Amino acid sequence: KEGIITFDPLKKSKQRILIAPLDWGLGHATRCVPLIKELIADFELVLAASGRSKQFLQQLFPDLLHIDFEGYNIRYPANGNMAAKMLLQVPKVMQRIKEEHRELQSLIQEHQIDLVISDNRFGLYSSSIPCIYITHQVHIQAPNLLSDPLFKLHGKYIKRYTECWIPDHPDAHNLSGELGHGEVPANCRYIGPLSRLQKVDCEKAFDYCALISGPEPQRTKFEDLLVSIFRNRAESLLLLCGKPEENSKVKEGNITRISHQGDEELARSICSAKAVIARPGYSSIMDLAQLEAPCVLVPTPGQTEQQYLAEYHQQTNSVPWFSQSELSMEQLKQTTASVIQTKWGSPNFNQEIRRILDGTADKNG
């Protein structure tokens, strides 16, 4: 079979790949890390991102070329109707999709790009080179009246790409449920879950570890809520704040707050807690499953995808979840955190990516 990339020995020694994650929280950037690590030895990589995503990738891969590439600048409401807030931002997002599509053509020429890997950025397709689109949410969770139109619109964009990579398994041992399964466009391929973390054995130093993530202002509201719940309590809390632009560690009584950690430190911190409190964003779900970390999920208010994933993993893995408004120490103490179960390494992710690029992989294998 022919691979996605056709090597041209007359062009240059290594093919050049542009990788561009969406700026919706850090999750899209973090799940690109295993891809980057797999490709970095054999390809020249160019990373295009903005804000915290760019800062995060620059810290991990300082020797790569980083391009400031404006994102969609999605904002969650501090209070009120999430659907209405998101609907008001649609014109801005659609305009940015058109702009990034035009900008991509310039990037391809300027940097001699051979392949594009876009993590949930809709406009990074081209007729001149192969382009890969990564998403776990082929079926976008939305109020009923919007579900079918959004599926058709998303499918329209997916079909403009050479392939769509779904970071999950095709069978029942999956993490995304209906989001990434059922009816999907013909160019979709399941590549297995993506996590940059590796499980480590260590002593339990904290009662709870909280992963603070997602767009503002809800990211900060979640952090402040947990501080108010745990302040002056006997239970210890490790707050991992997901701020790569900062470098701080502060201990205030029973609460330890760390702005940002590298992969190994982060895995050790998560594994050092008796239970993890986290948003059920899909990248967090993949990391928690990889680490086999007992967890409690707290969906971002009004975020329908996270609400679905929380309910899905309660049904499939008995993972408890609470709405943000009902989260309390009493609820946590009465709850037994559970592990998100999935299979890993079947097929081996690194081997799968290599087979996809050289054309030896089956479509869903």
pLDDT < 70 stretches in the chain: 1-3, 5-13, 77, 79-83, 343-353, 355-356, 359-365
Q: CA–CA separation, 45 vs 184, rounded Å?
A: 29
Q: What is the pLDDT of residue 353?
A: 67
The CATH number for 289's domain is: 3.40.50.2000
**Containing domain of residue 285, as a range?**
206-333
What's the CA gap between 29 and 49, in Å, rounded? 8
pTM of the model: 0.91
Does residue 165 fall inside a structural domain? yes
Residues 136 and 269 in one domain: no
Residue 157 sits in the same domain as residue 192: yes
Residues paired with residue 163 on neighbouring β-strands, in sequence order: 132
On whether both 158 and 102 belong to a single domain, the answer is: yes
Q: Number of folded domains in the chain?
A: 2
Is 283 found in the same domain as 181?
no
CA distances for 190 relative to 133, 158, 185, 275, 356, angstroms: 12, 14, 12, 30, 11
CB 30 within 8 A of CB 61: no
In a shared domain, residues 51 and 181: yes
The pLDDT score that the predictor gives to residue 348 is: 53
- Is 340 among the domain residues? no
* Domain contains 284: yes
Do 57 and 171 reside in the same domain of the chain? yes
Quick check: is 8 in a domain?
A: no
* Domain-located, residue 149: yes
Residue 176 lies in a domain: yes
Question: SS3 sequence, the chain?
Answer: CCCCCCCCCCCCCCCEEEEEECCCCCHHHHCCHHHHHHHCCCCEEEEEECHHHHHHHHHHCCCCEEEECCCCCCCCCCCCCHHHHHHHCHHHHHHHHHHHHHHHHHHHHHHCCCEEEEECCCCCCCCCCCEEEECCCCCCCCCHHHHHHHHHHHHHHHCCCCEEEECCCCCCCCCCHHHCCCCCCCCEEECCCCCCCCCCCCCCCEEEEEECCCCCCHHHHHHHHHHHHHCCCCCCEEEECCCCCCCCEEEECCEEEECCCCHHHHHHHHHCEEEEEECCCHHHHHHHHHHCCCEEECCCCCCHHHHHHHHHHHHHHCCCECCCCCCCHHHHHCCCCECCCCCCCCCCHHHHHHHHHHCCCCCCC
**Are 212 and 238 members of one domain?**
yes
Check: CB of residue 8 under 8 Å from CB of residue 2.
no
Residues 352 and 219 in one domain: no
Q: How far apart are CA 280 and CA 261, in angstroms?
A: 20
Task: Determine how many CB atoms are found less than 10 A away from the CB of residue 67.
Answer: 16
User: What are 323-358's pLDDT values in tens digits?
Assistant: 999 999 999 999 999 998 775 544 455 666 676 677
- Cis peptide bond N-terminal to 217, omega within 30: yes
Residue 191 and residue 239 share a domain: no
Task: For residue 338, tell me if it sits in a domain.
Answer: no
- Predicted local distance difference test score (pLDDT) of residue 352: 62
- What pLDDT score does 11 carry? 56
Q: Does residue 236 belong to any structural domain of this protein?
A: yes
Same domain, 146 and 107: yes
What's the CA gap between 358 and 303, in Å, rounded?
A: 38
Supply the pLDDT for residue 172: 81
The answer on 214 and 160 residing in a single domain is no
Same domain (yes/no): 34, 114 = yes
